[in-house]
Structure 1
Amino acid sequence: MEEIPIGEVRQISIDTEKVVLGIGGFGDIFKGKYDGREVAVKRVPLEDQDLNEEEAMLKLDHANIVKLFHCESDENFRYYALELCVASLDHLFLKTYDEKKYNGPMPHHIEVIQQLASGLEHIHSKDLVHGDIRPENVLISVGSAGPDEITIKWADFGLNRNVCVQGKAIKSEARGENAWLAPEMLKLSGTKNHGTAKGDIFAQGLVFGSLFLNGEHLYGSMENGNEIHENIIKGNPVNMQKIDGKLRDCYENDLLKKMLEHDPNKRMTSIQVFNQLKAIKNKIVGKEKELLELCGRDSRLDLSDKIKNFIQFGINLNAKDDDGRNALHLLCRNYSSPKLTDAIELLIENKIDVNAKDNDGLNAIHYLCRYHSSQNLIKAIQTLIQFGIDAKATTNDGSNALHYLCRYNASPKLDDAIRIFTELGMDLMTEDNNGLDAFYYLQNKYKKEMKIWYDNYALLGRGSFGTVFKGKFGGRDVAVKRVELHKVNQREEEAMLELDHPNIVKLFHCENDKDFRYYAMELCDASLDQLFLEPDNPRKYKGPMPRDIEAFQQLASGLEHIHSKKLIHRDIKPCNILISATSTRQHIEVTLKWDGFGMAKSVNEKGLHSWSGVRGTRTWYAPEVLEKLIEGKKAEQEEFWGTVQSDVFVLGLVFGYLFLKGEHLYGSGETEIHKNIIEKNPVNMQSNSQFNSILFLFSINGELVALL
């Protein structure tokens, strides 16, 4: 290589190894240093220096445009210290054996094109055109926006020109690579012309297409320049059909069409491209939330196809919920299907961060060891380790996966799982921040002193989800719900821990022994159905009650809080409404509280929840649920059928029940009630005219606010 004369250059230096990063018609680019940082040094002979490029670069300051730090000259050359990037976009699509091929990380296509659109919009906002848009001039930067962050940047402004009011470049020539020119530019190639910002938009559409086609050109083969030229002039993007139909739908196929309009007057502007991509991005963020909801629901079904649809849509698989959990965390916590490992592999193969930690420092293997006791456990642990999870990683409290396995896992047979970790060099005697080791947890998890005490003879209630006793926790009287470990409803526990409202029964503490899970809950005096038992029934509630309108307002307030947390109760009925009477100095304060969250389920942003069959008690259904029961419908896999308004309808039934002193608005027997709900015939409405106005509001709006 020729000796590189540095002359009087004082601030910019070229590496002594003279590493050439690129050679072009406007100058050579070397690796170098400026102001203590590594930079790309562009060296241009003085007679070839382009003051337009220099002026343009000094005007531009944007995350998606390569930054010019400094420029200076010696007697022969002009030197530019530019932001150093790792590769250009065309390097992404080189053959596997090519040493220049870029094999590093990349954002998803939607993120790449959004960044490019943002950068070009900034260029045009400064009354500049780029003029040489092609994959070689799109650079990939690692770390410029933060550790491990990938940023895509426009570079090489040698063809940049100031534009006049109409957006036309003044006296420029069509000097860009011919395969990346707009049709109006191709027709004028080699002549004086007026290039426009609209020409940049067309070329940007070609770059987007190349990204979707993994390096192919939308208008033909890169080995046949004449074919591309002819097809661009004819308006014939022959390779458009190769872009998968679903992918085009996700990215709104008309975006590319509008960018590639043959008539430049009909072509989009850069701000229009940016705004449309912003709208698409917002749509994708909604899909990211849906994926988290999907993986956060306990399911025995195969979720792989649904997850594939989300992946194809271009969502960020590493999106997290408010607790810092990504889809892999939630899958390892909740997914009980034998297809668990298939779903784990699918997410990891599509670049989800296997080692991502939540807000408490837990990675996916911590979740797996804590919540999974099924036959999937061993295979799932092996799968995560195979894909590079850090099994030795510790949480914020110093716990590793072995601690979690031995402390929380309900399975009595953990030998094989423990063996996997010990073979990795993990020690059962390693202590967490509490000074306790995994061996201690293993030996003592069923022998710990219970904080909840209950009276075996003070039975308060019994149901399919467990038995409730009177007991004590922290010195206070509580209701203790006891559930067999294999029947534990994680959904109910999570729902109650999330809810904090005076009209919702409070969960104080939960723990388990070797057989049961125990919940210390707020102790109430009775349930609403006990208010209307026969006078001689010993269970009848004879205490004070608030006025009906106060009772309604309390219940509406509690249900509104449940719905505000993106939950739906799904089991509203009088026996799941508790009465709490508390003595004060002046009077007895009576509060109604929602209970019975065993069927609670999360809803999406539209207030819909997935349905795996009809839920609830048979005389307390909304009509849309009852119809599915009568018709014997079974939901499609995870199909959204239910809404928060199903809760609201049943709330109206409860209001009617209170007004009617224990009668049902729609009749007296299950068959009659079902028939009348379907036929919209509240036969007992006339029994109390006062209720007509309230139910009318309810039936018209279907919203809680209408009841207040």
Structure 2
Amino acid sequence: MDSPSSSSLTGNVHDIQFDHKNVMYYAFERCDASLAQLFLKSDDPKKYNGPIPHHIDALLQLASGLEHIHSKNLVHGDIQPENVLISVGSAGKDETTLKWANVGQTGNVSERGKGKTHQLGGNNKWLAPELQLTRKRKRDVEEKNFKEATKSDVFALGLVFGSLFLNGEHLYGSMENENEIPQNIIKGNPINMQKIDGKLRDCYENDLLKKMLENDPGKRMKSTQVVDQLKTIKDKIAGKEKELLELCGRDNRLDLTENIKKLIQFGINLNAKDDGGRNALHLMCRNYSSPKLTDAIKLLIESKIVVNARDNDGLNAIHFLCRYHSSKNLIKATQILIQSGIDAKATTNDGSNALHYLYRYNSNPNLLDAIKIFTKLGLDLMTEDNNGWSALYYLHNKDKKEMKIFFDRDALLGLGGFGLVFKGKFGGREVAVKRVELRHVDKREEDAMLKLEHPNIVKLLHYEKDNDFMYYALELCVASLDQLFLKSDNPKKYDGRMPRQIKVFSQLASGLAYIHSERLIHRDIKPSNILIMKSPGKYQEIIIKWSDFGLSKSVNEKGLHSWTGVRGTRTWYAPEVLKKLINGEKAEQEVFWGTVQSDVFVLGLVFGYLFLKGEHLYGSSETEIHKNIIERNPVNMQKINGELRKYYEDDLLMKMLEHDPKKRITSKEVVEQLESINNKIQKSTQFDIQNE
């Protein structure tokens, strides 16, 4: 989700009108409450009980909004919690935004930041020390035109930050004592600073709050510096959030509760998610096999993690628990989640509920006890998922030998390696059925397909075996990428619809970034392993999907993997792998022969292949391609359409095709760069339309 722009963090006027009595009316965007309502007593009907951003995001939104006001040569002049409004959903579904409002005291300021207003506004409990004036001195300050007016806003912003940290209390004293707060502000004595929770104080006190609350305006931070400092703090917190996700995302039999506590104490957003939309609770329920699982789950829940959060496929924590956990903890963990308010009846994007996952995947000996829990809650054994299969069907057929996958031996879709692919059916839907002799079954590919769940990766729906073969039911696709560029008289040529080029690139990059986030490397990227799928439904959206994980392999924490020899197709190599091939290094050496960055290079080759309508960026023959990759010479780059090359060559392609894998752009950075390119293309298109 993109962050709201600074201008969206200030209240927008939608319309201004006069009536016949010359009364002015302003139409503002609607907000849900003010920040002051957040801290009302629980029995107050005006109390706001809705969502609020994580502390770093809340502070950054407020600071960005004030920076925007100052950038327009304005001061707010009346900063206090009543003038901060809470808007839910205005920046996107499930997004909560804080917005500045009631700018009645706002005045123009000169470029040096000196106020032009002749009115001393604002509640004196929320005024900077230079504005805490006796009547005797008020005229003197007015004559000086409120020097450093923007710095006064920054001080008041620091007071609002303190109010957020103190759940409505004031940093400088009691709200009930009319004189205490102004006196302490003048003295520079924030008496309640020590009441701020230790983890928050560690993050903010010295590097931010004290600099915002500096009594001397000349030494006080500017609003731009506040934003910069908050961004630095946010980066540090984001690093700790990533640590938590990695900790919970590994299969670990140790007690991780102490490590998790330390990360929580850093002030992280416990609801941060990985690229698949999974938070720490999802990952804990998926991967953590320690007997201390229930303690860790309780800790996350007690620390206010969102129990009902969904990942990108619509799974909540209980789905992960039912699918992956066969330990003795299954029952207790399930009960804890239910007691904590999880929606145990929730269905995923493919219509599966907890019972479907229990019956289909789980081998827990206490399965009957788990089933009783869900049936008592009202889950129906006969409820069907999107494939038309009920939980009871999964149960009855779990251990039976009859085939659930059907295929037409005369409808051959393709062949490769050790398997054939036929058109078939599974659970009432058409599928691609990959049949592999048991002696050639690649457990690595099977594990990868089971592990990977992403919109741009071909989904494994089911697998089973008979006495001779293993059968995999996969999503049915209409063609592979290489079929786009076959000759017009070739019956296998794909002439169907395709998304815009930028969308194709974005889908491929997103899928690859997800593969890498799961600590896997594809290792066999080429156009024939990229499939084109028409989604079911009225509009049949075209989706690009990665397939064929027969060469995928796990990587270590640095993204490195060892190979027992160079694999893949001979014209789709990164230079660091190609050199090993050319030098003839032996398979048994088992050295590290690349990183996930090798996939990124080959993805760049695929992008070039699409730009060049089936030609290779580095030449035509295998020998020429190898030579030019080693010599860093993409000979066909100049053939790419000039307008396209302007957007892609320097900012993306050359970064993906960087010879040194350590300097090469990452798959995640490819996703981000494509978003930037897409924004540039859209702006250019809008400009062209406006100037026609």
- Shorter-chain TM-score bucket reads 0.5 to 0.7
Q: CA deviation at 1:372?
A: 0.8
Following the alignment from structure 1 to structure 2, what is the Cα–Cα distance between the partners of residues 493 and 399? 18
Change over 3 Å in CA distance of 1:602–1:320 after alignment to 2: farther
Q: CA deviation at 1:471?
A: 10
| 2:110 counterpart of 1:164 | yes
Q: Deviations over 1:365-423 (max 9, x none)?
A: 22111111111111222222222322222223322211111011122441111111111
| 2:516 counterpart of 1:565 | yes
Judge conservation of contact 1:369–1:377 (CA < 8 Å) in 2.
yes
TM-score of the superposed pair, with normalisation by structure 2: 0.60
Judge conservation of contact 2:78–2:123 (CA < 8 Å) in 1.
yes
Change over 3 Å in CA distance of 1:294–1:158 after alignment to 2: same
Q: CA deviation at 1:199?
A: 0.3
| 2:293 counterpart of 1:293 | no
Q: CA deviation at 1:187?
A: 3.8
Q: Aligned match of 2:184 in 206, 211, 231?
A: 231
Change over 3 Å in CA distance of 1:252–1:184 after alignment to 2: closer
| 2:6 counterpart of 1:81 | no
Following the alignment from structure 2 to structure 1, what is the Cα–Cα distance between the partners of residues 288 and 555? 15
Show the counterpart of 1:324: 277
Following the alignment from structure 1 to structure 2, what is the Cα–Cα distance between the partners of residues 107 and 342? 27
| 2:347 counterpart of 1:400 | no
Matches within 5 A, 1:396-545: 396-449=349-402, 474=434, 479-480=439-440, 511=463
Q: CA deviation at 1:297?
A: 0.8
Matches within 5 A, 1:660-675: none
User: What SS class does the counterpart of residue 247 from structure 1 fall into?
Assistant: helix
User: What SS class does the counterpart of residue 353 from structure 1 fall into?
Assistant: coil
Show the counterpart of 2:138: 191
Alignment coverage as a number of residue pairs: 491
Instruction: Write the letter of the residue equivalent to 1:331.
Output: M
Q: CA deviation at 1:147?
A: 3.7
Per mean C-alpha deviation after superposition, the further-off stretch among 413-422 and 350-359 is 350-359
Change over 3 Å in CA distance of 1:228–1:420 after alignment to 2: same
Judge conservation of contact 2:318–2:354 (CA < 8 Å) in 1.
yes
| 2:64 counterpart of 1:118 | yes
Q: CA deviation at 1:127?
A: 0.8
Judge conservation of contact 1:61–1:67 (CA < 8 Å) in 2.
no
Per mean C-alpha deviation after superposition, the further-off stretch among 413-422 and 351-360 is 351-360
Following the alignment from structure 1 to structure 2, what is the Cα–Cα distance between the partners of residues 220 and 490? 63
TM-score of the superposed pair, with normalisation by structure 1: 0.58
Following the alignment from structure 1 to structure 2, what is the Cα–Cα distance between the partners of residues 594 and 445? 26
Q: Deviations over 1:304-326 (max 9, x none)?
A: 33334444444443333233322
Q: Aligned match of 1:102 in 48, 66, 72?
A: 48
Q: CA deviation at 1:347?
A: 3.2
Show the counterpart of 1:335: 288
Following the alignment from structure 1 to structure 2, what is the Cα–Cα distance between the partners of residues 414 and 170? 73
Q: Aligned match of 1:277 in 230, 237, 240?
A: 230
Q: CA deviation at 1:130?
A: 0.8
For structure 2, the 5+ residue unaligned runs are 1-5, 406-417, 422-433, 473-511, 522-548, 563-576, 592-659, 664-692
Judge conservation of contact 1:65–1:119 (CA < 8 Å) in 2.
no
Instruction: Write the letter of the residue equivalent to 2:104.
Output: G
| 2:165 counterpart of 1:212 | yes
Q: Determine which structure has the larger helix proportion and give its number.
A: 2
Instruction: Write the letter of the residue equivalent to 1:419.
Output: K
Cα RMSD, aligned residues only: 4.9
Judge conservation of contact 2:40–2:47 (CA < 8 Å) in 1.
yes
Instruction: Write the letter of the residue equivalent to 1:212.
Output: F
User: What SS class does the counterpart of residue 179 from structure 2 fall into?
Assistant: helix
Following the alignment from structure 2 to structure 1, what is the Cα–Cα distance between the partners of residues 355 and 589? 55
Give 1 or 2 for the bigger CA radius of gyration: 1
Following the alignment from structure 1 to structure 2, what is the Cα–Cα distance between the partners of residues 663 and 315? 43
Q: Deviations over 1:449-503 (max 9, x none)?
A: 5799xxxxxxxxxxxxxxxxx99995555655799xxxx99988778999x9xxx
Show the counterpart of 2:686: none
Q: Deviations over 1:634-680 (max 9, x none)?
A: xxxxxxxxxxxxxxxxx9xx99x998998999xxxxxxxxxxxxxxx
Q: CA deviation at 1:143?
A: 2.7
Change over 3 Å in CA distance of 1:497–1:237 after alignment to 2: closer
Show the counterpart of 1:134: 80
Following the alignment from structure 2 to structure 1, what is the Cα–Cα distance between the partners of residues 38 and 446? 45
Change over 3 Å in CA distance of 1:404–1:82 after alignment to 2: same
Q: Deviations over 1:226-275 (max 9, x none)?
A: 33222222222222222233323334631111111221111111111112
Judge conservation of contact 1:567–1:601 (CA < 8 Å) in 2.
no
Judge conservation of contact 2:442–2:550 (CA < 8 Å) in 1.
no
Per mean C-alpha deviation after superposition, the further-off stretch among 372-381 and 316-325 is 316-325
Change over 3 Å in CA distance of 1:364–1:661 after alignment to 2: closer
User: What SS class does the counterpart of residue 199 from structure 1 fall into?
Assistant: helix
Q: Aligned match of 2:98 in 152, 157, 162?
A: 152
For structure 1, the 5+ residue unaligned runs are 1-59, 453-469, 501-506, 521-560, 571-592, 610-615, 617-650, 666-702
Following the alignment from structure 1 to structure 2, what is the Cα–Cα distance between the partners of residues 262 and 129? 19
Instruction: Write the letter of the residue equivalent to 1:175.
Output: G
